Structure 1
């Protein structure tokens, strides 16, 4: 996972009036104008008990705004209906963003309890707005003037999106069906929360303890030190502990010579949510799949996938399957070749094992070492967190002229956080950026970018700058060494920074046009990955943490030579998860009432022809992308590869210019894509930049699958 979107749409919030209890609003920091620099959240003052009364008050305030629209005696117009609705709920949006972001990055039992209380409130409020008949009547009246009145392209698009959001929210349903939809939305909001809570508990509950140094055979000193520090943190000094958080798990799987321990650790990872305990997610998934299908049918769609994709570039499931299947055939062919090569090596070593999922990283690393004389530990000294951060900053300075000033005077939600003011080349303030790098038990796994405050233009013309946050789970410092990242972690930082740029550069007049389709949203992030591994730019930022020397040409050449290595595995595990997502959400009617989640998953993968040595990147019971509404990728996990068609083609614009740091091309990408949000159709945004629609060939070339 490389991204998490926590954007709350104006139409997606609210309607229940609740008395503020437990906190006087005058003492609630969430209900005051923040007296912090740049108006960032006052994290040092916010407590879990502030959220429920603040949300209740913010709901009331937005309902007052809605009532003003509904009770207006003036004829419905763009300004007094669509624009007024678009500007409602700013306070509520910011409070909910803060709550959900904190719950993901630094949760507690108290925050989780708050979410259980407010999730039904917010679900009801969403429905109260989208099913408000008088409000819909006014929205519809304005919608019907399209073609009769002159609107700007953005106004016309906002009218169309607003009208469609009401229809998709149930505005056209009769009273009985609206009541049913409300029940479904309430239950889905709680199920998504339950899924996430279960997964967080499972992530923290499982680890392996090693007390015999012989069982550390093969592990580099840095990985041993990591295990020793984790054991010390858990009160087991003198032992070694490895968790199922990837910065701990993947180095162990890559280097441990102990096949049984590799299997034991990986077992804990792939059994998350599937242990028949209080954190089991199988029944939760059954209910989510069934309820989503019921909701889709109520709203007139054949399946949940049809409902979701209607808003995306793909439009229908057939287009998604078509792309995934085109890539699947060369990917699985390459994966089988990779497996056979690893099995041959294991046999030659006398390992006397059949390669399994837990062995893939270990033998892949051995093959890479044999073929390219390259292993992960050779790269880490050149990829310190400081070097990679500096490299990302310098890249955006070269492309866009950005400047970064570290701010120690801003409140943070955890001591690990760093805060930067981001400025234009002329020192004009652009936004605030929080960086939160290391794993902890209070943090969700993975990496994502989100906002605590999204860009907006208020009716008086005030431009509100964004407050953006990148949250990761990178390798921590060990002993006297700084945080030394894996190549994948470095690439992930570049990726998430692309999302941050998208949020920082946004210049959209209407809040309802800030968001882009799910299968377009990864373009700004994935294009950044091209610089992370480009030979020319690696030389620029990858520097030894002790000597400051740049990564030598010999090592860079090895990275370039091995660029397509293990792409069969990487592509196949991703495609398998994408197809599993689609298979769940293209179920119709009775088929959505699943008896056995594991049997469904197996049948899906067997039909696909996934080899037993590879598991889907996310198995059902920990597939948070699609079963947690906060992540919002249901029927959309394919988006990464769909957007890769775009980003691979888009980077070619830099390559074709003869300069991968071409400021003119970067400026065009900024003005045509990064600043525009969803103010145009996604393909129109892309062709404005590139001058043509993309082709799949650059993607296949980049992955070595052509």
Structure 2
């Protein structure tokens, strides 16, 4: 690791526009020294607040807390962006060292009884204070979150809680490191290119490049995606190749592998359950949902059960249709996507793989994603090649608001690489705050396979959907305008955060948007009108499978995190527990595997979705209802965008999310549009 302590660009505010980190000057060796100083500065700031002899006020306690930790916030955002998207061995080494330090630092603040007493004193006098609605909510949220973190525990309980949090930080880091290593190790090597029949030229060139990067010239390598079902399963004509690919995906970090996550999963579950009990909750799921819009795990599980029965029933109907095409050979999991495309072609005359020439990435970005934002919100986007990203493939765009004022920066990191974790996500490099005088810098990461040199990047329809989805998160981060950083961007309840991103998917097939971006990259011909109509007609196609695989993962998350510590300690076999849980809800069809199996379920064992993976379907109730509102009110027009922005996206976390939704919609959400969308009604 480079000794870069003599000059450390992380220790001062970035000189670049919008405060974007100067990654051209930052070396791995800068991070730990910067964290060391940031921890010390933050501790001193917190100590000054906690030990103040003055009567607690909003200014000297709550606002002071919001001002504190500016250096730590800057360094953390710069580092963790790289840790997720370009985790070289040097970055991984830093993260392993850092994880327990970050946990201990956070606990020292969250569990400080002096701070909690000051916040409580202010909370108890709320009605006497002349505060704005945002200030009032900030006091309430700080008190709730401190209590939720364990600030009211006695000293012995706090000591145990700190130890639990430290150990969990190590385990979640280990889980992610193991998964990344196994995902790379289990990439499928194909010696005979004939086995890759069905893939396009760009996909073949990407597989050849991946092989060369591994020193396997003359072969092809298929890298694995985070979720169970690989996109190539829909195209590969070789059943054996499909079987190998799915088996590799499903075996990641399983027992017996060099990067086995089984014991890590068991320990994470047990320690999370113990922590929840220490905090007064029956389970980790009860602990998590108590501060979400769902309220209780029972409410979550009731929704999942309500949807699981019709979803499984629809999946069986779809399976029967596939079996008619498969003939005598029973339909297996690795056949589903391939046979589904045959049924789609037969019933709707659509070949989704053949659509890729109409989904060239640059056009999708500018004439699809950006154009929808321009029409709806009046935004403009200008690429800034002068602003460095954390990796050469990162692109930076300046976002200009409808009134011509600069709004923020949007960074796009499109391609997969061995140092990037799987999946797709949004994060903030700089959070907007009037108090700190900052404007937003947001990042979107995807994992699109990069084609060989000279080949265009042609997206699948799933890739297009992911890009629109993640850009919905980016809009949330760009639009939220708050005073206090606590409420910046997507800092809302976990089971609400997916709502804006899902709403943004509606523009994918919106006529004027689709017509602008769905243009053949060679001929310039638009996607034929009859194909567009068939696409719309097939929107509910295969929803039984898609809903079932998602619900299986959401239920698995709930099953693990509904255990008591004693029940968790009694689990000796991760695979057996998983099988029993899926059988219990009726989602155990081997042909419809869970979207994530436990040992590679990164969202819940290394991300922020533990006991919260249900959030996607929970938020989709709001999403589907909102799509109906847009359709009823003229669709893609500025008046609608301005209303959605001002009443929902623009408030960040400064307003109760369901109150904000009622303000936008005029009522609570109706579940009927979701049931219709997924074919689950009746």
Cα pair distance change 1:266/1:345, threshold 3 Å: same
**2:464 matches 1:486:** no
What is the distance in 2 between the residues matched to 1:252 and 1:684?
Answer: 43
Contact 1:499 1:525 in 2 (8 A): yes
What is the distance in 1 between the residues matched to 2:343 and 2:619?
Answer: 30
Cα pair distance change 1:566/1:23, threshold 3 Å: same
Instruction: Give the aligned CA root-mean-square deviation in angstroms.
Output: 1.8
What is the distance in 2 between the residues matched to 1:432 and 1:55?
Answer: 25
**1:693 Cα offset (Å):** 0.7
What is the distance in 1 between the residues matched to 2:206 and 2:37?
Answer: 46
* SS of structure 2 residue aligned to 1:472: strand
2:132 to 144, 152, 167: 152
What is the distance in 2 between the residues matched to 1:674 and 1:213?
Answer: 48
**1:555 Cα offset (Å):** 1.2
1:356-402 CA distances to partner (integer Å, 9 max, x unpaired)?
11111111111111111111222111110011101111110111110
1:269-320 CA distances to partner (integer Å, 9 max, x unpaired)?
0010104233100100111001001111111111111111111100001111
Contact 2:227 2:596 in 1 (8 A): no
* SS of structure 2 residue aligned to 1:283: helix
2:334 to 350, 355, 358: 358
Cα pair distance change 1:159/1:213, threshold 3 Å: closer
Task: Identify the residue that residue 496 of structure 1 maps to in structure 2.
Answer: 470
What is the distance in 2 between the residues matched to 1:643 and 1:310?
Answer: 17
Task: Identify the residue that residue 326 of structure 2 maps to in structure 1.
Answer: 346
1:686 to 658, 661, 664: 661
**1:199 Cα offset (Å):** 0.3
**2:178 matches 1:198:** yes
* SS of structure 2 residue aligned to 1:410: coil
- Worse-matched range after superposition: 690-699 or 130-139: 130-139
What is the distance in 1 between the residues matched to 2:620 and 2:229?
Answer: 27
**1:115 Cα offset (Å):** 1.0
Task: Give the paired residue count.
Answer: 676
Runs (5+) with no aligned partner, structure 2: none
1:110 to 71, 82, 90: 90
What is the distance in 1 between the residues matched to 2:639 and 2:465?
Answer: 24
**1:533 Cα offset (Å):** 2.6
Contact 2:18 2:438 in 1 (8 A): no
Cα pair distance change 1:193/1:394, threshold 3 Å: same
What is the distance in 2 between the residues matched to 1:60 and 1:192?
Answer: 25
What is the distance in 1 between the residues matched to 2:194 and 2:385?
Answer: 45
1:396 to 373, 381, 384: 373
2:215 to 228, 232, 235: 235
What is the distance in 2 between the residues matched to 1:655 and 1:355?
Answer: 39
TM-score, normalisation: structure 1? 0.93
Task: Identify the residue that residue 646 of structure 2 maps to in structure 1.
Answer: 671
What is the distance in 2 between the residues matched to 1:243 and 1:228?
Answer: 11
Contact 1:491 1:533 in 2 (8 A): no
Task: Identify the residue that residue 308 of structure 2 maps to in structure 1.
Answer: 328
**1:158 Cα offset (Å):** 1.0
Task: Identify the residue that residue 536 of structure 2 maps to in structure 1.
Answer: 560
Contact 1:226 1:248 in 2 (8 A): no
1:63 to 43, 52, 59: 43
Cα pair distance change 1:517/1:477, threshold 3 Å: same
Contact 2:285 2:561 in 1 (8 A): yes
Contact 1:23 1:53 in 2 (8 A): no
- Worse-matched range after superposition: 240-249 or 542-551: 240-249
Cα pair distance change 1:421/1:104, threshold 3 Å: same
**1:247 Cα offset (Å):** 11
**1:38 Cα offset (Å):** 2.7
**1:96 Cα offset (Å):** 1.0
What is the distance in 2 between the residues matched to 1:571 and 1:548?
Answer: 36
Aligned ranges 1:23-42 → 2 under 5 Å? 27-42=7-22
What is the distance in 2 between the residues matched to 1:547 and 1:453?
Answer: 41
* SS of structure 2 residue aligned to 1:437: strand
Task: Identify the residue that residue 284 of structure 1 maps to in structure 2.
Answer: 264
**1:535 Cα offset (Å):** 4.2
Task: Identify the residue that residue 6 of structure 1 maps to in structure 2.
Answer: none
Contact 1:626 1:633 in 2 (8 A): yes
1:675-698 CA distances to partner (integer Å, 9 max, x unpaired)?
101111111010111111111111
What is the distance in 2 between the residues matched to 1:255 and 1:33?
Answer: 49
- Worse-matched range after superposition: 207-216 or 492-501: 207-216
What is the distance in 2 between the residues matched to 1:240 and 1:527?
Answer: 38
Aligned ranges 1:456-605 → 2 under 5 Å? 456-458=433-435, 463-478=437-452, 480-514=454-488, 515-593=491-569, 594-605=571-582
* SS of structure 2 residue aligned to 1:82: helix
2:110 to 130, 133, 148: 130
* SS of structure 2 residue aligned to 1:209: strand
What is the distance in 2 between the residues matched to 1:71 and 1:210?
Answer: 64
**1:226 Cα offset (Å):** 3.5
Contact 2:228 2:594 in 1 (8 A): no
Task: Identify the residue that residue 614 of structure 1 maps to in structure 2.
Answer: 592
What is the distance in 2 between the residues matched to 1:264 and 1:602?
Answer: 22
Cα pair distance change 1:118/1:241, threshold 3 Å: closer
**1:705 Cα offset (Å):** 2.6
**1:426 Cα offset (Å):** 2.6
Task: Identify the residue that residue 627 of structure 2 maps to in structure 1.
Answer: 651
- Worse-matched range after superposition: 217-226 or 440-449: 217-226
**1:219 Cα offset (Å):** 3.8
Runs (5+) with no aligned partner, structure 1: 1-20
Cα pair distance change 1:592/1:544, threshold 3 Å: same
What is the distance in 2 between the residues matched to 1:120 and 1:229?
Answer: 38
Task: Identify the residue that residue 142 of structure 1 maps to in structure 2.
Answer: 122
- Worse-matched range after superposition: 435-444 or 229-238: 229-238
What is the distance in 1 between the residues matched to 2:41 and 2:226?
Answer: 43
Cα pair distance change 1:328/1:215, threshold 3 Å: same
Cα pair distance change 1:341/1:24, threshold 3 Å: closer
* SS of structure 2 residue aligned to 1:521: helix
Contact 1:455 1:466 in 2 (8 A): yes
Cα pair distance change 1:671/1:269, threshold 3 Å: same
Contact 2:286 2:297 in 1 (8 A): yes
**2:619 matches 1:639:** no
Contact 1:398 1:663 in 2 (8 A): yes
Contact 1:535 1:560 in 2 (8 A): no
